[in-house]
């Protein structure tokens, strides 16, 4: 295995494709994930919603219950097949795409991502947040939840990688590297501010973070 960040990004898609059938177990095994539910209820999810890296659709139905429509994107067709069965709604549309290449065809009131930001290599974060900006309607919000710094203790953190990475193992014993950045809430809010966002990022218990980010309104006649 090389030391290249592109290689890890490809490997994490392979990992989530191979893990799709095992993925939902974490939601039945980890009670603390439920602490995120009331937090999400208080975050501004509304209108037409874009969900990035929807996976098996664990959050998609909750979004759909508050949204006019949900467009949910993920690179793993195996995960999307599970999501389609879990959320068979005429207002929910699933798309298979690589988020590092995908561009939105329209703008959305809410862009939501759960447990995805931690998988974006740090050098790709400015481009990722530009994608979020290009996906948001005026006055729209990005809403996200993820692992926080407390989670690093439970991971097999790899040294000597081009980007922060951990080793994951599937039931069949196969091993994969995935990108994993345990964002510290205050630092993430500062980074987002430096890219022009008004962001609020809070810890949720010891293991999670939740945040919102929006762009200041552009005065009429400016911008572009
Ligand atoms: C930790 S899972 C999160 C799934 C879901 N949001 C959740 O919270 O349960 C990360 C997801 O990112 C997807 N993914 C990984 N690399 C991707 C890429 N380059 N483009 C789109 N999706 C990707 C994986 O297929 C996986 O479903």
- Out of 2-6, 87-91, 144-148, 208-212, pick the least confident: 2-6
pLDDT band for position 223 (50/70/90)? very low
Is 2 a residue whose pLDDT tops 50? Answer: no
The mean pLDDT of 181-207, rounded to a whole number, is: 97
Separation CA 166–CA 74 (nearest Å): 21
Q: What is the band of 217 on the pLDDT scale with cuts at 50, 70, 90?
A: confident
Q: For residue 96, give the nearest of 113, 83, 80 by alpha carbon.
A: 80
The mean pLDDT of the chain is 95
The DSSP secondary structure of 125-166, one letter per residue, reads HHHHHHHHHHHEEEEEEEEEEEE-GGGGGGSEEESS-SS-EE
Which ligand 1 atom lies nearest to the CA of residue 102? 20
What is d(CA 5, CA 2) in angstroms, rounded to the nearest whole number?
A: 9
Residue whose Cα lies nearest atom 27 of ligand 1: it is: 55
**What is the rounded CA–CA span in Å between residue 89 and residue 110?**
18
- 99 Cβ below 6 A of ligand 1: yes
Share of the chain above pLDDT 90, in %: 93
Q: Is the pLDDT of residue 163 over 50?
A: yes
Output the CA 144–ligand 1 centroid distance in Å.
Answer: 13
Any ligand 1 atom below 6 A from CB of 74: yes
Q: Reduced to 3 DSSP states, what percent helix, strand and coil does the chain have, rounded to the nearest 5? A: 40, 30, 35
Q: Are 199 and 212 in contact (CB under 8 A)?
A: yes
- Give the mean model confidence (pLDDT) for residues 44-69: 98
Higher pLDDT, residue 214 or 219: 214
List the Cα angle 194/49/136 in 5-degree steps. Answer: 35
Predicted pLDDT at 36: 97
Name which residue sits closest to atom 18 of ligand 1, judged by CA: 98
For ligand 1, the distance from its centroid to the CA atom of residue 202, given in whole angstroms, is: 22
């Amino acid at each position: 295995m090389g030391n290249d960040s592109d290689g890890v990004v490809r490997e994490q898609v392979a990992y989530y494709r191979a893990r799709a059938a095992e993925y939902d177990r974490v939601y039945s095994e980890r009670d603390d994930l439920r602490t995120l539910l009331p937090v999400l209820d208080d975050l501004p999810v509304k209108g037409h919603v874009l969900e990035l890296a929807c996976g098996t659709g664990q959050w998609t139905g909750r979004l759909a219950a508050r949204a006019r429509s949900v467009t949910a994107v993920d690179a793993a067709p195996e995960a999307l097949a599970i999501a389609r069965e879990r959320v068979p709604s005429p207002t929910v549309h699933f798309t298979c795409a690589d988020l590092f290449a995908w561009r939105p065809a329209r703008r959305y009131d809410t862009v939501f991502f759960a447990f995805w930001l931690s998988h974006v290599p740090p050098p790709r974060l400015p481009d990722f947040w530009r994608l979020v900006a290009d996906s948001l309607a005026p006055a729209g919000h990005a809403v996200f939840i993820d692992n926080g710094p407390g989670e690093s203790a439970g991971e097999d953190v790899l040294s000597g990688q081009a980007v922060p990475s951990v080793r994951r193992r599937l039931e069949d014993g196969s091993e994969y590297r995935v990108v994993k950045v345990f964002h510290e809430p205050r630092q993430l809010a500062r980074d987002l501010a430096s890219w022009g966002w008004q962001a609020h990022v809070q810890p949720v218990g010891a293991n999670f973070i939740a945040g919102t980010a929006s762009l200041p309104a552009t005065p009429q006649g400016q911008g572009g």
